[in-house]
Structure formats: structure tokens, C-alpha cells
């Protein structure tokens, strides 16, 4: 199989670097100037200091990129539908592997569902799990989940996309994998805010644990399997994202807790996901206090102090 990656941000570029050790890879960017710079300098400024292997061909020609047998979609969740719609004629009938995490605010859908709705004849899958672009690009060992409802296609993708430093575990539970990757970003914002506000590591541990309970409840509502949430795409990604300054969602929460401004150009998927989850939970009568509080905190409706009090003043209950 030939592989193309649509999206030349840090994560898409990191995947291209890892996969390039197995053979030629096409890396597509909508920005022709970015493409030119990458081809000339053999480096992406999103990953400074990491050389692009000669096996990576950077292009801004979507028709050329779409010739790949497998297309990895490394674009932000809230932009996924617009990219699919704009290039639908080139992407029809293709194997499309989403590499984004989140829930679409407008529809409440995860990335696999958005692909299936937008490109009905595509064969969708999802690559998700605990990973930072810099680790992957530098060849550090990383384990991810490959979710695909077609078992045979999942086997083929697992073999094709596993590299020397990327180990993929397979599941057919696309819903559980989608929601694990989406909801952990919400919890990371909450953990960052608690650390930024000086509440300490014990409070963070409580948020991770109770946040994981929320993730399981929400996944069960949407038809996800509990064991999927216990794996890399759920618990594994939750632990990583809630405990590292490399996480954009965690850093965003940290800035809220410290009452500092945050770079508006940085994608923070957990903000839109928290709003989507809060809306769905309210409509379904599902108890999601941390997610709802993060949504209020991110929108400015709550201060950090108010958010903390909101959670601490909840009625006592059994675990």
C-alpha cells in the first residue's frame, strides 16, 4: 500500500517521518509556501530540528496526494468535515484514516462518523492513543490504537502503519476509540486548571479518576465497549494528556488556572469537545459534572474558583 498524509502540522509530519522508514510517503499541505519550504529545507518549522527523510514528498496538489492507497487525515477535528467536503471528488472510495481527536460541535459526531457521512463510499478508520508528535518524529517508542469496523481492513492497516517505533493495537470498536481520544482532552483541561490554580497532585489524581468514570458513562451511552476505554485510546491517552506540559489541552487549562492568556492560534480540541459533551449530556440526562464544568470554565461562564466550588459542593455519593 502507498500512504499519503493530509495535513502537514506537527502530528501529520511526525507520522510521515516514522512511515518514511518503510518507504515513500506523500505529505500534503494546503499551503503551497509551506510545501516549498519543506521541500527546500527538508524540515517543517512545526517540528524544529527534525530532518525530513528523502522518502517524504511534500506537495500541495490534492489529486497527487489522493493517489495513495491509504490516506491519513491529520487535520483538526473541527476542520475535518470542511476538508472532506472540499476535496470529496478526490477522496471518494478511498481508505481514510482519521488522526484527529474530538467531537464535532455542530453534529456531536466523532471523526469516523463524520467521514462516513461526508464520503459515503470511503472506508473509514481511526488512529488514536497516547502520543506526542515530537516523540514519534524522534523515533521514540509509541503505542497507538487502530480502530476499524472492517476486521480485514483493520488487519491490513495494522501491518501497513506499524513501524519500528509505532506499535499499533487493533480494535473494531470505533465508537469507544473515538470517545476515549475526545474526552481525555476535556479532562486534561480540568487537570491543567487545577494544577495552575495550585490545588496539587492529589486533586489532579481525583480529576483523572472521576473523569475516567465520566468517559466510561458517556461511551456506554453512545455504544462504546468498556474494554476499549481501558486501553490505549482511553486510559492510556488520559494519563499522558493530563500529566504532561507537552499537551496543548493541559497547557490551556494551566493558563486558565494561572489566569494567564493562551496563544489563540494553538488548537485546543478539548474546548469544543467539552461544549459538545455538555450539550449531549444535558439532552440525555447524563451526569457529566467535570465535562460540564470544563465547558463553563472554557467559555468564561465560570471562574476557576467557581468551577472548583461547583465540583466540591456536589452531593456526596458512593463511588
Contacts of 309 (CB under 8 A, 6+ apart): none
What distances in angstroms separate CA 21 from CA 25, 35, 271, one per listed residue? 9, 20, 35
CB neighbour class for 318 (10 Å; exposed up to 12, middle 13-18, buried from 19): exposed
Q: What is the CA radius of gyration of the chain?
A: 19
Instruction: Give the other-Cβ count within 10 Å of 245's Cβ.
Output: 10
Whether 94 is catalytic is no
Report the C-alpha gap between 46 and 8 in whole angstroms.
Answer: 8
Instruction: Give the other-Cβ count within 10 Å of 64's Cβ.
Output: 14
Q: In what order do the strands lie in the sheet with 25-28?
A: 56-59, 25-28, 3-6, 70-73, 95-98, 123-128, 142-147, 166-171
Catalytic residue among 94, 184, 259, 317: 184
Q: Quickly tell me which residue has 496538489 as its cell.
A: 61
Query: Helix, strand, or coil here: 233?
Result: helix
Instruction: Indicate the Cα dihedral angle 127, 128, 131, 132, nearest 10°.
Output: 70
User: What values do phi and psi take at 98, rounded to 5?
Assistant: -70, 135
Question: Under a CB-based contact definition with an 8 Å cutoff, are residues 143 and 232 in contact?
Answer: yes
DSSP string for 133-168: HHHHHTT--EEEEEE-SSHHHHHHHHHHH--SSEEE
- Catalytically active residues, by annotation: 184
Amino acid at each position: 500500500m502507498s500512504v499519503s498524509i493530509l495535513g502537514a502540522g506537527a502530528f501529520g509530519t511526525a507520522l510521515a517521518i516514522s512511515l518514511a522508514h518503510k518507504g515513500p510517503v506523500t505529505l500534503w499541505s494546503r499551503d503551497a509556501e509551506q510545501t516549498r519550504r519543506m521541500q527546500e529545507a527538508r524540515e517543517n518549522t512545526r517540528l524544529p530540528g527534525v530532518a525530513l527523510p528523502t522518502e517524504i514528498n511534500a506537495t500541495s496538489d490534492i489529486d497527487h496526494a489522493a493517489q495513495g492507497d491509504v490516506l491519513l487525515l491529520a487535520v483538526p477535528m473541527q476542520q475535518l468535515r470542511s476538508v472532506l467536503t472540499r476535496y470529496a471528488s478526490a477522496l471518494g472510495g478511498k481508505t481514510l484514516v482519521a488522526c484527529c481527536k474530538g467531537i464535532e460541535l455542530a453534529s456531536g459526531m466523532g471523526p469516523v462518523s463524520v467521514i462516513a457521512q461526508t464520503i459515503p463510499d470511503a472506508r473509514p478508520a481511526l488512529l488514536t492513543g497516547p502520543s506526542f508528535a515530537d516523540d514519534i518524529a524522534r523515533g521514540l517508542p509509541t503505542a497507538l490504537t487502530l480502530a476499524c469496523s472492517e476486521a480485514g481492513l483493520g488487519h491490513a492497516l495494522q501491518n501497513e502503519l506499524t513501524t519500528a517505533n509505532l506499535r499499533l493495537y487493533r480494535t473494531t470498536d470505533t465508537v469507544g476509540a473515538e470517545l476515549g481520544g475526545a474526552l481525555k482532552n476535556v479532562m486534561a483541561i480540568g487537570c491543567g486548571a487545577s494544577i495552575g490554580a495550585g490545588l496539587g497532585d492529589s486533586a489532579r489524581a481525583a480529576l483523572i479518576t472521576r473523569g475516567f468514570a465520566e468517559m466510561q458513562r458517556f461511551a456506554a451511552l453512545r455504544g462504546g465497549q468498556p474494554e476499549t476505554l481501558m486501553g490505549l485510546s482511553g486510559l492510556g491517552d488520559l494519563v499522558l494528556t493530563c500529566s504532561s506540559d507537552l499537551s496543548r489541552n493541559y497547557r490551556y487549562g494551566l493558563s486558565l488556572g494561572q489566569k494567564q492568556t493562551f496563544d489563540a492560534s494553538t488548537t485546543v480540541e478539548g474546548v469544543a469537545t467539552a461544549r459538545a459533551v455538555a450539550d449531549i449530556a444535558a439532552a440525555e440526562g447524563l451526569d457529566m459534572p467535570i465535562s460540564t464544568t470544563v465547558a463553563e470554565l472554557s467559555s468564561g461562564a465560570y471562574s476557576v474558583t467557581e468551577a472548583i466550588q461547583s465540583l466540591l459542593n456536589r452531593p456526596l455519593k458512593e463511588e
